[in-house]
Amino acid sequence: MTYRGRFAPSPTGQLHFGSLVAAVGSWLCARHAGGQWLLRMEDIDPPREVAGAAAGILATLPAFGLVADEPALFQSQRLAAYDAAFGQLQANGMIFPCTCSRSELAGSGGIHRDGKCVGSAQAGRTPAWRLRVPEVEVCFEDAVQGPQCDNLRELVGDFVIRRADGHYSYQLACVVDDARQGITEVVRGQDLLDSTARQIWLQRCLDLPTPAYRHLPVVLDAEGSKLSKSTQAWPLDPRDPTPALRRALAFLGRPLPDRVIDAQGLLSHALADFDPSRLPQCSGNSSA
Ligand code: GLU
């Protein structure tokens, strides 16, 4: 089976150093395996999106030598597929409408566990839809972070598939699209490790294949917090890509050439004798 990897940014801001690390890491794994590297724009959450960010991300990646093998898939154009998955879950009695408010769930730490709405029905209130999560332990092997086992009911309970505002959740869209794009390995930041058990469970509910997972360490700022697009952290300059690219490659443990070369050359250099099993495991600052 041909390796198919992907980079799946959300257009909540321009590409920043943390997302560059995820993009470069997934690109290296795909190219090392002689496979394809795909792009997916996760633009399904308009309230969180920043105008121009999707176009900005798509224009920035090639400047860093990161060129996808297929046209980008836009989640905003995939609603029919999410509707179909939602319908499948509904037909199989796996989801339920829920009008619980935050305060009604405060007693259980915000977690919903009963497989049916425990909130007071409020006339006119649009429900969110949750997946019924039974007592189940989801185990998988993460290629960087090692073996993982999550008791889903304990950890997240009945999680939201479609929000009350009508938008589908990241979990549903991600699972449907990883299957649609034929992704064989998901390489992304460690901050998404705790979404993985939910996604594997959803794959089982929807009868979709489960890819392999490899969660890269995340870049932390000086205060030890994750760099995030929404805090405008460390924007990248597509006109001068090599300093940030060198730093991203160093963060991923790749040796850097002494001589000055362009982005394409840096990536080729980093790919020579790249070994995915030697990617670093722990998050930290970028010091290079
Ligand atoms: N869209 C997510 C983000 O930008 C990444 C999703 C994924 O790689 O599964 O954080």
pLDDT tens digits along 110-142: 888 877 777 776 667 789 999 999 999 999 999
User: One fold for both 4-79+173-285 and 96-170?
Assistant: no
Distance in Å, CA 144 to ligand 1 centroid: 17
Domain boundaries, the chain: 4-79+173-285, 96-170
Distance in Å, CA 54 to ligand 1 centroid: 13
pLDDT, tens digit, for every residue of 172-217? 999 999 999 999 999 999 999 999 999 999 999 999 999 999 999 9
Helix (H) or strand (E) holding 147: strand 146-151
Specify the ligand 1 atom closest to the Cα of 199: 9
Contact 64, 81 (CB under 8 A): no
Q: How many CB atoms lie within 10 A of CB 12?
A: 17
Distance in Å, CA 265 to ligand 1 centroid: 27
- Of 42, 218, 228, the residue with max ligand 1 atoms within 8 A of its CB, to mutate for a pocket test, comes to 42
pLDDT, tens digit, for every residue of 228-277? 655 566 678 999 999 999 999 999 999 999 988 999 999 999 999 999 99
Pocket residues: Cβ below 6 A from ligand 1? 8-10, 42, 174, 188, 192
Evaluate whether the domain defined by 96-170 bears CATH number 3.90.800.10: yes
Distance in Å, CA 19 to ligand 1 centroid: 9
Specify the ligand 1 atom closest to the Cα of 189: 8
The two tokens of residue 174 are 């991600």
pLDDT of residue 288: 45
Q: CATH says 4-79+173-285 is which class? A: alpha beta
Residue environment code for 153-185, b if the CB has 16+ CB neighbours within 10 A, otherwise e: beebbbbbbbeeeebbbbbbbbbbbbbebebbb
- Provide the residue count of the chain: 288
Distance in Å, CA 177 to ligand 1 centroid: 12
The two tokens of residue 251 are 């963060």
